[in-house]
Amino acid sequence: MRFQPPLVITDQELKQALDLIEETMNEMAQGKLNDYDVSGQGW
């Protein structure tokens, strides 16, 4: 995972991003995410 935040980000935007990451990690740990193949995804 690569974090590349914008040069200007508000505290609210940062909190929202970190909340989304935390939620995703929790769902992954609970086995709620399927085995979607992400190879080749991204930029």
Under a CB-based contact definition with an 8 Å cutoff, are residues 5 and 14 in contact? Answer: yes
Taking the model in full, what pTM does it have?
Answer: 0.62
pLDDT tens digits, one per residue of 1-43 = 677 766 788 899 989 999 999 998 898 888 887 776 666 666 6
Under a CB-based contact definition with an 8 Å cutoff, are residues 33 and 27 in contact? Answer: yes
- 17: number of Cβ within 10 Å: 13
Residues recorded for the chain: 43
